[in-house]
Structure 1
């Protein structure tokens, strides 16, 4: 599969919500309570995407989508870091990268990451970070295969009523 990667546009909000819903349910089974995953609100996801896509286009942040046969099968979002211990002028964040489970292992995720890293480097960031659930071995292995490494950052949250632990990964963008 050789996906086409492009910037997301407002009309993509509904499909982004559907991709998010499907990928979260597949990726987070066993990492989050079943009732939480069953209760994911696609309409709320769509509203969030509509809001994100309504803002101005900036080189320092964006949402990219991967298409296969003109169907969106994945997305990635990037922006300046919001971590208090990093400088947002030099550190960008890969805020999310999700694909439909049907395209896992086909190169769609790699294509999205390649484009995001190029966009972050072009925007002048020296490094990028991302957060991943501690138990999400599939994602952690994916990022390690692509040069990311844990930097010691760790966050615990009970915002949704259950404990989640996230680990931060970091990558130099000098070669991106």
Structure 2
């Protein structure tokens, strides 16, 4: 399997929307209502990705894709920290990292995360944060293997119409 990590382009929006939906449907059964997961479609996510990737001015959010054998297998989005209790000049955030379920465990997620962290460090950030659904033990193990640790912040997200408890993780960045 040949994998390339690169900056996402507007033409990647449809593939990113598909990864987004497939990964949620595989990762979140039992953590989100099944009816919600069953109702997700790439078409509902596509407008967001078209807008984000089509912005002509410098983007606040950078999106990287992992392309495996010519197809987008995962993506990560990153930028300045968005939380009120962090300094967005020194704390960057990995706001999303998702892979097609069929490539879970193949090392692609680790390479994608390393590229995201390198990009944040190159942009001058000293630390990085991310939020993870509290019950997502697979993701939490992945982050912890990569040096991430819970920093004590917890939030309740009801933006999709149901409650989710999320835990914030943090790690130092090295230039």
Question: Under a length normalisation based on structure 1, what TM-score does the superposition of the two structures give?
Answer: 0.95
When the two chains are superposed, the root-mean-square deviation of aligned CA atoms in Å is: 1.4
What is aligned with 1:73? 73
CA drift at 1:58:
4.7
Q: Which residue of 1 aligns with 2:13?
A: 13
Structure 2 runs not aligned, ≥5 long: none
Q: Which residue of 2 aligns with 1:142?
A: 142
| Cα drift, residue 42 of structure 1 | 1.9
| Equivalent residues in 2 for 1:15-164, closer than 5 Å | 15-56=15-56, 58=58, 61-164=61-164
The size of the alignment, in residue pairs, is 175
Post-superposition shift, 1:148? 0.2
CA offset digits 1:104-142 (Å, max 9, x no partner): 000110010010000000000000000000000000000
Assess, with a 3 A threshold, how the Cα gap between structure 1 residues 155 and 171 changes in structure 2: closer, same or farther.
same
Is this contact kept in 1: 2:2–2:69, CA < 8 A? no
Distance 2:11 2:111 in 1: 22
Deviation string, structure 1 residues 61-113 (Cα, Å, up to 9, x no partner):
41000011111100000010110000000000001000000000001100100
Query: How many angstroms apart in 2 are the aligned matches of 1:73 and 1:90?
Result: 30
